[in-house]
Amino acid sequence: MTTLYEPAYAKLNLTLDVLGKREDGYHDLKSVMQTISLRDDIEIDIETGKPWVLRCTNEAVPTDERNLAWKAAKVYLDAMNKDPNGLEIRITKRIPSEAGLGGGSADAAAVLRALNKYCGNPLSILALAELGAQVGSDVPFCTLCGTAMVEGRGERLRKLPNMPDCVFVVCKPDFSVSTPVLYNEIDSCAIAKRPDNTAMESALLAGDFGKVAENLLNVFDPIVTQKHLELNYIKSIFNSYGAVGYQMTGSGSAVFAIVPDFEFAAVICNMLRDNYPQVFIAKPV
Ligand code: C5P
């Protein structure tokens, strides 16, 4: 038996624009995404000689073929025509679920990378990301990691200059948002403000985190904030204690702030922790 280890990094949407609904029911989007050091840990035992098993430290997470990590293992092994002779996936969960942080996708992507390494890296990282699109829309980016422009349904990736050095504070409130419902809702909304992805790219190229912060924009943020005013409370704490920019990530409900250093991050965490136990400090990775 062999055991594989792989980190699974959460993602943030620095920008997120929804361009329109497609014939397959999904939406074309354009988003600058960033992986952060908030992570799950994946361990995979190969050749267990037993039926497949998935275990997760968070009991609310499904532990069967509905789990994206399980799906990713199946998609990879089917594509490579390999039989692992039994497999056990263990997930140490730290990324909050239903947060817009891509937790399930990150786990799936880590499984793809781990199995590909085990097989001697027959697939390039971009080919692996392409395979990830069969598992979920955020899986291709979570396979690549770093900073990237993400388009199409989530499968078209273009690497961007790395995010300049900064610190993120991520806060997950208690409520959750249904991603399909939100995508449906945006079809009947006039989007008042869209991100300037060209300005975001220039800010990244210049390594200017202040300009990155200025250009944060997620078209889902106003829709969710309008219904859940507590997001404004969290943002007001971010604003009062030195954040240079802040917004919701993905379809929510987590919100994040960009701050200059750990001292600012620690103060914000202290201010939020009593009401929001799920508050994290992270770096870009
Ligand atoms: O692909 P994934 O399972 O992550 O998507 C979850 C849901 O989000 C989809 O069922 C769809 O309703 C919505 N979605 C979309 N367009 C995208 C990504 C997700 O409509 N590009």
Question: Which DSSP string do the residues of 53-99 spell out, in sequence order?
Answer: EEEESSTTS--STTSHHHHHHHHHHHHHT---SSEEEEEE--SPSSS
What ranges make up the beta strands (E) of 47-114?
53-56, 87-92
d(CA 163, CA 209): 8
CA of 127 to the centre of ligand 1 (A): 21
* pLDDT for 189: 86
- Residue whose Cα lies nearest atom 21 of ligand 1: it is 153
Q: Does the beta carbon of 136 lie inside 6 Å of ligand 1?
A: yes
Residue 17 has pLDDT above 90, yes or no: yes
HSE, side-chain direction, 13 A CA sphere, residue 11: 34
Average pLDDT over residues 178-183: 94
Distances (CA, A) of 253 to 70, 105, 246, 250: 25, 16, 13, 8
Residue 235 has pLDDT above 90, yes or no: yes
Instruction: Give residue-wise pLDDT tens across range 38-62.
Output: 999 999 999 999 999 999 999 999 9
- Any idea which architecture 2-159 has in CATH? 2-Layer Sandwich (3.30)
The neighbour count for residue 85, using CB atoms within 10 Å, is 11
Give residue limits of the domains in the chain.
Answer: 2-159, 167-282
**Dihedral, 67, 69, 73, 74 alpha carbons, nearest 10:** 20
CA of 151 to the centre of ligand 1 (A): 13
Average pLDDT over residues 89-104: 97
Told to judge if 28 belongs to the known catalytic residues of this protein, a careful annotator would answer: no
Q: Does the beta carbon of 139 lie inside 6 Å of ligand 1?
A: no
- Residue whose Cα lies nearest atom 20 of ligand 1: it is 26
What ranges make up the beta strands (E) of 118-243?
147-152, 156-159, 167-171, 217-218
Q: Which atom of ligand 1 is nearest to the CA of 251?
A: 8
Asked if residues 161 and 275 have their Cβ atoms less than 8 Å apart, the reply is: no
DSSP single-letter state for residue 134: T
Task: Identify the bridge partners of residue 90 per DSSP, sorted by sequence position.
Answer: 43, 55
Residue 162 has pLDDT above 90, yes or no: yes
- Residue whose Cα lies nearest atom 13 of ligand 1: it is 180
Instruction: Give residue-wise pLDDT tens across range 193-205.
Output: 999 999 999 999 9
Residue 226 has pLDDT above 90, yes or no: yes
Confidence of residue 190 (pLDDT cuts 50, 70, 90): confident
Q: Does the beta carbon of 26 lie inside 6 Å of ligand 1?
A: yes
Q: Does the beta carbon of 138 lie inside 6 Å of ligand 1?
A: yes
* pLDDT for 30: 98
d(CA 246, CA 266): 16
Fold topology of 167-282? Alpha-Beta Plaits (3.30.70)
Q: Which residue has the tokens 């409520």?
A: 175
d(CA 274, CA 198): 39
